[in-house]
């Protein structure tokens, strides 16, 4: 009888120990799943952050390129305006020189006409 009680208690103890082992294994599996899920979430988040940083970098580079292109356009416009001003100044200089030459020619012509008129007047008198 005592032996039967000991065997019953031993069986109950083994069942309890087996239950504890199974519970521990299930807890370890759940902990592993949670750890893997957390690690995957961290990896995905890191990848997303890296992607966002890359996009910000690309956007910054595009902004710098745009600013550079606008600056180049402004410089080119200034160069073209300077060239047009130089050409205009040249044309004005040529026109002024031509005007002076016409004035000199007109003055010489008037002087020659006056001299010729004077000579004609002297010879007729």
pLDDT for 60-89, tens place per residue?
Answer: 999 999 999 999 999 999 999 999 999 999
CA distances from 77 to 12, 19, 26 (A): 96, 86, 76
Is 1 inside a domain boundary?
A: yes
Which residues, at least 6 apart from 22, have a Cβ–Cβ distance to it below 8 Å? none
Domain extent at residue 38: 1-74
Q: Could you tell me if residue 117 is inside a domain?
A: no
- Whether residue 36 lies inside any domain: the answer is yes
6 within some domain: yes
In this structure, is residue 33 part of a structural domain?
Answer: yes
Within-domain flag for 104: no
Is 105 a domain residue? no
For tokens 């299930």, name the residue: 26
The total domain count for the chain is 1
Entry pTM: 0.52
- pLDDT band for position 24 (50/70/90)? very high
In a domain, 63, yes or no: yes
């Amino acid at each position: 009888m005592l032996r039967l009680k000991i065997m019953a208690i031993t069986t109950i103890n083994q069942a309890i120990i087996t239950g504890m082992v199974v519970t521990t294994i299930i807890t370890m599996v759940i902990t592993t799943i949670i750890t893997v899920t957390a690690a995957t979430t961290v990896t995905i988040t890191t990848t997303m952050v890296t992607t966002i940083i890359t996009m910000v970098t690309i956007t910054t580079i595009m902004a710098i390129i745009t600013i550079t292109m606008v600056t180049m356009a402004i410089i080119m416009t200034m160069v073209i305006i300077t060239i047009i001003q130089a050409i205009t100044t040249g044309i004005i200089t040529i026109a002024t020189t031509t005007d002076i030459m016409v004035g000199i020619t007109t003055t010489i012509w008037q002087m020659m006409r006056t001299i010729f008129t004077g000579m004609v007047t002297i010879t007729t008198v």
